[in-house]
Each structure stands twice: as C-alpha cells, then as structure tokens.
Amino acid sequence: MLPATFDEYLKKKKISPEKYRQSPEYESFAREFELLGPYAFDQRKKFFINQRRREYPLNDEPANAKSLAV
C-alpha cells in the first residue's frame, strides 16, 4: 500500500516528520510529493531522501546501533 500523505511517506522512509518540518525544503518537497505521487517522487528524490534519513532519523537510535548489539 502506497503512503497517502507526505508524513506517512517520511515515516515509511524512517524519517521523522516532526524533525523534518524544521527543514527549509519541507514545504517544497511536500508539494512535489502531492503533485507527483509517492512512486514518482521516490524515483526523483531518492538521493535526497537517503541523506535526510541520516539527518532526521525517525527515532533517536543511531543508524548502526543494531549492528553493534549482539
């Protein structure tokens, strides 16, 4: 099932919508998501989304914490 809203899309991509709203590009990305839809937006912004996942993680756990846990 495809995400219906930009916030749902961000959560699916493991990006915190609350933290990301503070970004200056949030509004323009949200508008583009509404115009393009989730699939086309993902294809067009994949590189940017991967960067934002590191900058605005959905939880405060470091990205490599799972690999460190034994």
Which pLDDT value is given to residue 64? 55
Q: Which residues contact 9 (CB under 8 A, 6 or more apart)?
A: 3, 33, 38, 41, 42
The stretch 40-60 carries a mean pLDDT of: 92
Give the percent of the chain with pLDDT over 90.
77
Which pLDDT value is given to residue 32? 96
SS3 content of the chain, % helix, strand, coil (to 5): 65, 5, 35
pLDDT 10s digits, 15-26: 999 999 999 999
The stretch 37-52 carries a mean pLDDT of: 93
Contact between 52 and 20 (Cβ < 8 Å): yes
Q: Say how far apart CA 5 and CA 70 lie, in whole Å.
A: 36
pTM: 0.79
The stretch 5-12 carries a mean pLDDT of: 95
